[in-house]
Amino acid sequence: TIVDQLISTGRIERGFIGVRLQEITPSIAEALGMPGAKGALVASVEAGSPAQKAGIQAGDVITRFNDKDIQGVHDLTLAAASQKPGSKVTVTTNRGGTNQELSLTVDRRRDQEEQTGAIPSLGTEDQRLGMSLSAIPDEARQQLGLQADTTGVFVQDVAPNSLAAESGIRPGDVIVSANNRNMTQPSDVREEWAKSRQQKKPVLFRIDRQGQSLFVAVANS
């Protein structure tokens, strides 16, 4: 308990698992094939963190943390922070429609890790996609700090009031994957967009934005 921590260490130590999270919108839930928008979506996993060691991956949905059902980001943030460093917990994740239980050892949250939290949820509107795409320019690689072998598709421009704009995609974003398929050229994005249109489901983009990873579901109707 907090009282026990204060008595034994003189300070409160909050648990840290090393994930960036975002809320699951109805469109993201549909793109993931989930029945509802419950759980916390893992946008990225910090290298060497407890989450990575446990086998948690970007794109996983955490639905349970020990004996607590996770309804959203707030639930998971509180549940993880309340754990004493060194505690072993069971994390239930949904990956591609399959549930799995993972064992995770909670670490101590350091001051610089306080930023590891929730990414604001992103909504969508039923409008056209509206993105100008290209290979990643060398200048952009330098400005964004991308490695030479980093693959993805560069968003040059976003049309106002388009599906991309309403979903939160911005010029300068790098589309890393679409529907869990790695993107290497603009035609890859258009192909996945067309497939999603045929299936009448949102397309799920994984975006790199200035070194931060997040997911965006773009409505497709």
Do 137 and 109 share a structural domain?
Answer: no
The residue ranking higher by pLDDT, 152 or 96, is 152
102 shares its domain with 158: no
| Residue 190 shares a structural domain with residue 83 | no
Answer with the one of 119, 144, 174 that is the final residue of a domain: 119
Question: What confidence tens digit (pLDDT) does each residue in 184-199 have?
Answer: 988 899 889 888 888 8
Task: Let me know whether 151 and 108 are in one domain.
Answer: no
Q: What is the pLDDT of residues 157-173, one digit of tens each?
A: 787 777 888 888 988 89
Q: pLDDT tens digit string along 28-62?
A: 888 888 877 889 999 888 888 999 999 999 999 99
Is a pLDDT exceeding 50 seen at residue 221? yes
- Chain segment 75-108, per-residue pLDDT in tens: 898 888 778 889 999 999 999 889 999 999 998 7
Is the predicted pLDDT of residue 151 greater than 60, yes or no?
yes
Which residues have C-beta within 8 Å of that of residue 32, sequence separation ≥ 6?
Answer: 24, 61, 94, 97, 204
Output the pLDDT for position 108: 79
Write the DSSP symbol of residue 96. Answer: T
Residue ending a domain, choose from 67, 95, 119? 119
How does pLDDT run across 111-126, given as a tens digit for each residue?
A: 433 333 443 332 232 2
Q: Can you name the residues that pair with 155 across neighbouring β-strands? A: 133
Gap between the Cα atoms of 189 and 195, Å rounded: 10
| 48 & 94 share domain | yes
Nearest-Å Rg of the Cα atoms of the chain is 19
- How high is the pLDDT of residue 47? 84
- Specify whether 19 is located in the same domain as 110: yes
Cβ atoms of 109 and 16 closer than 8 Å? yes
7 and 77 fall within a common domain: yes
**Domain check: are 106 and 162 in the same one?**
no
Structural domain includes residue 208: yes
Is the alpha carbon torsion for 140, 145, 146, 147 positive or negative?
positive
Domain range spanning residue 95?
Answer: 2-119
Average pLDDT for residues 8-26, to the nearest whole number? 73
Assess if residue 10 is contained within a domain.
yes
Length of the chain in residues, anyone? 221
Banded pLDDT at 17 (limits 50, 70, 90): very high
pLDDT of residue 128: 53
* DSSP three-state, residue 208: strand
Overall domain count for the chain? 2
Secondary structure element (H or E) that encloses residue 190, with its range: helix 186-199
Residue 125 located in a structural domain: no
> What is the domain-level CATH number for residue 159?
2.30.42.10
157 found inside a domain: yes
| Residues 111 and 204 occupy one common structural domain | no
pLDDT of residue 13: 56
The pLDDT, as a whole number, for residue 163 is: 84
- Examine the fold and report which residue of 85, 119, 153 is the final residue of a domain before the chain moves on: 119
Question: Which one, of 214, 219, 201, 169, lies nearest residue 73 by Cα?
Answer: 214
